[in-house]
Amino acid sequence: MGLKNLNSASKRAIPTLLIPLAGESISAGFPSPAEDYIELDIDLNKHLIKNPTSTFFLRVSGNSMNNTGIYNNDLLIVDRSINPKPGDVVVAILDSEFTLKRLIKKNENYYLKADKEDYPVINLYEYNEVIIWGVAIYSIHKL
């Protein structure tokens, strides 16, 4: 069994879309005085996508990663150019089936673990083919 990370992706242009950014940060604790003007523009692609040719969006199905803040129907941003390391949330292909779990290493062996207790740890050595397809870097969900 070998862990693989596939880094090949076709080149594609990412368009720039500037969205107004308020000049002040917002307090999540006590209220702060607000300023009624927009100061800057922000391109979310520049902040969320570091490697455009190897970044993909995936729709999440399921609840096994809720404790991480990844929920059913979230839009997940996955970067395939990042080398996965223990602790990362990864998209893996196990014998041709996709899954989203946290990569863990214990006693020199690798496993995938959901962040909810009622899901079993996945022993990667029980599969014929394991591919770590990419590392999840952001999850976008409706509030």
Which residues have a catalytic role annotated?
64, 101
CA–CA dist 39, 19 (Å, integer): 11
Q: Report CA torsion sign: 31, 33, 36, 40.
A: negative
Task: Give me 121's structure tokens.
Answer: 């740890």
CA–CA dist 51, 53 (Å, integer): 6
State the CB neighbour count (10 A cutoff) for residue 39.
10
Reduce the DSSP state of residue 48 to 3 states and report it: helix
